[in-house]
Amino acid sequence: MKPEWLDQIYEDKDLEIRGQSCSSKIGKRIYLCPSRASAVTGTAVIADCLGPLTPEQFDELRPRHKVPGASPYEKTFAWVLRDVQRVPRVPIKRNESVIWQTGPGGA
């Protein structure tokens, strides 16, 4: 994810806006990594997946996701993040996925 959004997640942003559901990941810990970086910098638990959101719901949730303007996605989902933790940088081998990445050192 873009570094500026990741920084906000480490501060107080608890919703990540995406164009696909994360319902199969609810309750699982994910690794957080800035776009184009080769190291994990944190973890979070996906507590819930909201959506697809209506434009009204997207606006109502803006204080939590902080995305200005309209949703950038045709179908919009809010990934509810809990237990966000910064971790010491852990090198990873990047794959082609923009959304999901295996854990540190993953194949």
- Would you give the DSSP letter of residue 33? -
**What is the pLDDT, as a whole number, of residue 65?**
96
Question: How many folded domains does the chain comprise?
Answer: 1
- Higher confidence at residue 49 or residue 1? 49
Task: Report the half-sphere exposure of 69 (CA within 13 A, side-chain side).
Answer: 3
pLDDT in tens, 49-66: 999 999 999 999 999 999
Q: What does the alpha-carbon distance between residue 23 and residue 34 come to, in Å, rounded to a whole number?
A: 22
Beta-strand runs (E) in the chain: 15-18, 29-32, 39-50, 77-91
7 is in which domain, residue-wise? 3-88
Position 50 in a domain = yes
Position 100 in a domain = no
Position 98 in a domain = no
Position 71 in a domain = yes
Position 101 in a domain = no
